[in-house]
Amino acid sequence: MTDVFDGPRVVRTAAELRALAGSVALVPTMGALHDGHVQLMKHARPLADTLVVSIFVNPTQFAEGEDFTEYPRTFEDDLARCAEADVDVVFAPTVDVMYPSGHGAGQVTVDPGPLGSVLEGAVRPTHFRGVLTVVAALFGLVRPDVAVFGEKDYQQLGLIRRMVDTLCLGVEVVGCPTVREADGLAMSSRNRYLGPEDRQRAAAVPRALDAGVAAGPQGADAVLAAVHGVLAAAGIDPDYVALTSPDLGEHGGSGEARLLVAARVGAPRLLDNRAVHLGDPTSGTTPSEGA
Ligand SMILES: Nc1ncnc2c1ncn2[C@@H]1O[C@H](COP(=O)(O)OP(=O)(O)OP(=O)(O)O)[C@@H](O)[C@H]1O
Ligand SMILES: CC(C)(CO)[C@@H](O)C(=O)[O-]
Ligand code: BAL
């Protein structure tokens, strides 16, 4: 008899997760899956015996007035995307399975610390508490050996790494490069909120990052000016343009750094980031000249 793969097994309860075979890789998502998610799954596939994708639109990371209710829910299409990447199990819990003792005021949550209140955290002050709490709960339910996240949400990835270290969760956290559309726009479930004109304008965000990376040898001020210049030319007023160290601390003025941008373009907020190498403008030579 031939072994026909007919898609992932859909699991909705904690009890069903106890029978997972061998080592386990987890890709947490909120569904509305696109090629960026599929790349995370393909990256995760060889890392463990069993590949689990979770699909859960987590209410605690949305603030009052954000798009929790409107967030796209495309479960049947999502199962097809998971099948493409040979996913074994799709874990799609209800809110009660995810938060068996509730998620209101008075419950235990994971405090993201100071990194949770800057950049995205300054715009969405309760967001990372919700993200870290649900990721910790997913780790508790799925018990993965390895978990894969996208660099598109760079601050989220950094905070999850810190949580795993601080709480000694024993999960290997793997980051995957951002998957982009042909014009450079980072894929994102919320891109579907972009109307045609804003969709075109949105390509200025990755173009601004390109300009920032190209200005790297001239130093941090030149990088920030280049990014702001491209965004302004496209009529985009960013929530922030920031340079940090690769692990989201203060950058050292020269050397490796991370450049992060967030901006509302039409309905959605777009996030993007790139690695950048900063030259030291006071040294009189660029890093390649000086090497
Ligand atoms: N373009 C992308 N490239 C790589 N990873 C991505 C990309 N988009 C999302 N991811 C990652 O997929 C995981 C699940 O993200 P999520 O389900 O929130 O999708 P999203 O596209 O980021 O949605 P949203 O538009 O709500 O931000 C996260 O680890 C996220 O960083
Ligand atoms: C990590 C995550 C699945 C937690 O809900 C979410 O923040 C996301 O999709 O990036
Ligand atoms: N990928 C980020 C999830 C959120 O915006 O809630």
Cβ pair 119, 155 in contact under 8 A: yes
Closest-CA residue, ligand 3 atom 6, reads: 61
List Cβ neighbours of 107 (8 Å cut-off, separation of 6 or more).
99, 101
pLDDT of residue 66: 96
The dihedrals phi and psi of 168, each to the nearest 5 degrees, come to 50, 55
ipTM given for this complex: 0.98
Catalytic site includes residue 37: yes
Closest CA to 174 of 272, 28, 16: 28
Question: What are 36-87's pLDDT values in tens digits?
Answer: 999 999 999 999 999 999 999 999 999 999 999 999 999 999 999 999 999 9
8 Å CB contact between 58 and 30? yes
Task: State pTM to two decimals.
Answer: 0.95
Domain architecture of the chain: domains with CATH: 9-176 (3.40.50.620), 191-278 (3.30.1300.10)
Q: Is 280 in the pocket of ligand 2 (CB under 6 A)?
A: no
Q: What is the mean pLDDT of residues 90-97?
A: 97
Question: Does residue 120 line the site of ligand 2, with CB under 6 A?
Answer: no
- When pLDDT is cut at 50, 70 and 90, the band that residue 284 belongs to is low
**Spatial distance between the Cα atoms of 52 and 91, rounded to a whole number of angstroms:** 7
Q: Ligand 3 test: best mutation among 73, 153, 187, 271, most atoms within 8 Å of CB? A: 153
Separation of alpha carbons 242 and 246, rounded Å = 12
Q: Is the CB of 28 under 6 A from ligand 2?
A: yes
Query: Mind listing the pLDDT tens digit for each residue in 197-252?
Result: 999 999 999 999 999 999 999 999 999 999 999 999 999 999 999 999 999 999 99
